[in-house]
Structure 1
Amino acid sequence: MARNSPAPRSAKSRAGIRPLPGRARSENGNAHSDLMNGEIGLDALAGHAGYAVRRFQIWVFQDFIRTLGAVDIRPTQYSVMTVIGANPGLSQMAVAKRLGIERARLVHLLDSLEQRDLVSRVKSAADRRSHALHLTARGRTALAQFKRLAAEHERHVAEKLGKENRKKLLQILSDFT
């Protein structure tokens, strides 16, 4: 009568839902409620610099977008305009290389900034295949406003980290800029 069959499984395990290894069930015996309460363990991720940097980057971008939302400027657009403003006449290739942006993505981004009359592309006198990038008059005015809002965003970062920690973080990350 007794076969060597496994013991009957619960409905949840038959459906393929099992508790995560190494996770204790919550007081009510339901690991799913732990997930819903944000009590998911990170295991080794907690010690990974890349994971922490990525989570911080998400927070930074969300705050930047929230702070500069009224002027409809994204972090990459701001970066491109800032570099062009500081270096009028740079080529698209030079901007892409300096900021680590794929050339095709930069072309699309420049198209959108040009449509908003913030940036202009002028054929290079030295190389007809290349364009020199400049801020328009409207772009220079807008960039000044963007910089004021970005400074507010940086104050938010300092509030989150503390002024000294922000300074230390910038010093640590300076090798990558």
Structure 2
Amino acid sequence: MPLVILDRDGVINQDSDAFVKSPEEWLPIPGSIEAIAKLCQAGFQVAIATNQSGIARGYFTVETLTAMHKKMEQLIGQAGGKIIAITYCPHGPEDNCDCRKPKPGLIYQLAKQLQFNPQETWVVGDSLRDLQAAETAGCKPALVTTGKGQNTLKKLPELSYDVPVYKDLAEFTETLLKQDQSK
């Protein structure tokens, strides 16, 4: 079954420079929940790989992150979709871990857990580090212009590879499903 890996903040939910610190602050981007449900209903599996340095910075706890993810999964479930796995990096930028994007550790964790083919797997993000992690892991990167995506667009010339750009997760999903149907 094909897999799509999503970044969370800025792709599924509204991002904040002050961090999303509670389930109340976790607000879906219009159309993102439905897009995930459509992917699932079309036979795709959906997983999440997300940096969550707010834990290391003391802005929220692992328990609060779990509550945010529970809210997200409930909304997706109500729409007819399912997240099969969530990996997150709790470390700060200076911790030099292997899991913080742009390093591919979160994607490698998912690969070990889910046994997918990276060359057939999309990674959708709104930041340059999402795209870099996807490329390093051998996946297909895609950029959405929600969240930090507009700023990331300006950095695309730095990349040595082409990245398709979409308005949001809904547009990515519609395009992917049209391509999938034409096979």
State the TM-score, normalized to the length of structure 2.
0.23
State the TM-score, normalized to the length of structure 1.
0.23
Higher relative contact order (CA 8 A, sep 6+): 2
